[in-house]
Amino acid sequence: MKVEKSTALLERYGGIIPGGVHSNFRQPVYFERASGSRLYDVDGNEYIDCVVNNGACILGHGDPDVAAEVKKALQQGLTSGIESELSLKVAKQLHDMIPSAEQVRFANAGTEAVMKSLMLARCFTGREKIIKVEGAYHGWFDEAQVSVHPEPGAAGPPDRPIPVPSTGGIRQNTVDTVLIIPFNNLEALEYTLAANKGEVAALLLEPVVFNSGCIMPRPGYLEGVRRLTQKYDVVWIMDEVITGFRLAPGGAQERFGVTPDMSVFAKAIANGWPLSAVVGRKDIMSLSHPGGKVLYGGTYNGSQATLAAAHACLEKLKTGRIQKHLQALTDRLQDLFRERVQDRGLAARLEQFGGQYQVFFTDREIFDYRTACAADRESYLVFQQTVREQGIWMSDGYLFHHGVTDAHTDEDLDQIITAYDRGLAKVAERIRTRPASGRPA
């Protein structure tokens, strides 16, 4: 892989842009264009994209139907700051698709939507504390930046984790209002709810924890969450920023048959255009009615171009065909990966659901953050670097989530698994040459 132009651009602009990137989840490689399942960088390298805009690009890059709708919207001259008929139509699409969407309001990013949902939950309950899952990422604001990926040694026992700030710059008292629970542990959830009875406004929970790779809910877990939040009169906010529309037309709540009180959607809602939505029960959402108790503002909320992208995207997603295609692709990828791992005698697994997946170098079941972060990070980095050299775009984050789009084909999958096999061979070589101390040579 050539890197000269990207390296030169980083050297030229790295002094004015920290790290040369505008999000810390990106690598300083600079791209010129994208099409379908492919990315093309400034050095002329071509990649099969498995980052897919952090899960947002569900149809593929430059989907022609989305592009046509956006072009039409741009020609109308409407931008934002006023309402249009299209904003009503897209809201109706969401209302009809999502089980929890009695009412709908738009925002721009997942972080914004989560912030607004928490404001509504706190006003509705008159309480301040929130509960979140260890290892879950819900955005970059203060309360969300607690126990995202903490060092286990500083985070307390696995069944009673303590809140740990995940970044500098958040309010010092933030951890006083954020309670942390492990995923897939109903006993820990009920203990926390009972110990803080009458103080918790909301449980903020991602139904599949893609922000620690891919952690599936165990059978009965989500149903238990619904029962306990109702028992303790706590608003359940389901974070469907990633799961939304990938697992089913109505998101994870449709796929698992469990309806929360509120939900937040983003990413795939508009095939990567900056749009998010807060949806939920009418008695909660109505608090944000103009002149009501909760301010809900935003100049760019429901901007015309993003709504046009969403309208086209949701029309495709509502049938369920795309979700079946995504699941079939990652089912096959998981099977092929398992075969390669067995052939090489490695401790590795590929966890997947709904077209999203992650590779973990461990032989343990992945059921919460602690089991996910115990995977071998160094082996993952060797694997990822080898795979990237083969023309597959992957993140260097060993707890990141990867994915495919509707534009990915079986031929793409064949190239991906060939590259993955070479990555596994490199990991096996590293293990063979590891000295007795346990450190690689």
Catalytic entry in 41, 239, 368, 406: 239
Active site residue 142: no
Catalytic residue list contains 239: yes
Q: Rounded to whole angstroms, how far apart are CA atoms 270 and 312? A: 8
Beta pairing class for 31-35 and 38-41: antiparallel
- Note the helical H segments in 46-152: 64-76, 85-97, 110-125
Longest Cα–Cα distance in the chain: 69
φ/ψ (deg, to 5) at 185: -130, 95
| CA 311 – CA 322 distance, rounded (Å) | 16
Complete DSSP assignment for 357-392: EEEE--SS---SHHHHHTS-HHHHHHHHHHHHHTTE
Burial class (CB in 10 A: 0-12, 13-18, 19+), 275: buried
Q: Which amino acid is at 382?
A: V
Name the active-site residue from 137, 296, 369, 398: 137
Convert 138-160 to b/e letters by CB count within 10 Å (16 or more is b). bbbebbbbbbbbbebeebbeeee
Q: Is position 137 annotated as part of the catalytic site?
A: yes
- Contacts of range 6-15, beta carbons closer than 8 Å, 24 or more positions apart: 6/30, 6/41, 6/42, 6/43, 9/42
User: Which of 129, 132, 267, 316 is an active site residue?
Assistant: 267
CA-wise closest residue to 354 among 25, 52, 62: 52
Catalytic residues, which ones? 137, 239, 267
